[in-house]
Amino acid sequence: MNISVVRLAPSTHDKGDKGFVPFIIHQARTNGVAGYPGDGTNRWPAVHRKDAAKLFCLALEKGIKGALYNAIGDNGIETKKIAELIGEKLNLPVKSLSEEETTKHFEWMSHFILFDNPASSFKTQELLGWKPTEIGLLEDMTENYF
């Protein structure tokens, strides 16, 4: 059996997304502020759903037994930039949150939003000839999330 693993970015985005980013937007609406943890420099990788699907196909067709492939389109968007876009689109203040405020604001997701999680798909692109071509998370948010 030829098994390999495709690791998805925390945000695998596209129209109809029900994951982390819609929850962050919901929390901003609920709390009346687009918050981000600390200085907002922690990074959030993302990949468009269509790019991820293409990678799964390539992993099936050309994958190497036991390989790990990263489905990453945006290597790491600062959480502050995500909050700024949410604030702009919802006409809400944008605010740095203390650790305690982060826990309250993001609830169950507070642990995840604190991660600084830069990631790369360089090796995946090299091994499989995969190249993300769809829009990035911030552009997708602008076009489809509000």
Residue position matching structure tokens 């692109």: 125
Rounded CA separation 141/67 (Å): 31
Q: Contact 43/75 with Cβ under 8 angstroms? A: yes
Q: 3-state SS of 39-60?
A: CCCCEEEEEEHHHHHHHHHHHH
- Domain 5-144's class? alpha beta
From 113, 97, 76, 90, select the one nearest 26 (Cα to Cα).
90
- Residues 86-129 pLDDT 10s: 999 999 999 999 999 999 999 999 999 999 999 999 999 999 99
pTM: 0.93
Rounded CA separation 11/22 (Å): 10
Rounded CA separation 96/34 (Å): 9
Please tell me whether residue 72 adopts helix, strand or coil conformation. Answer: coil
86 is written with which tokens?
A: 């949410």
- Residues 18-74 pLDDT 10s: 999 999 999 999 999 999 999 999 999 999 999 999 999 999 999 999 999 999 999
Predicted local confidence at residue 12, as pLDDT: 95
Predicted local confidence at residue 2, as pLDDT: 76
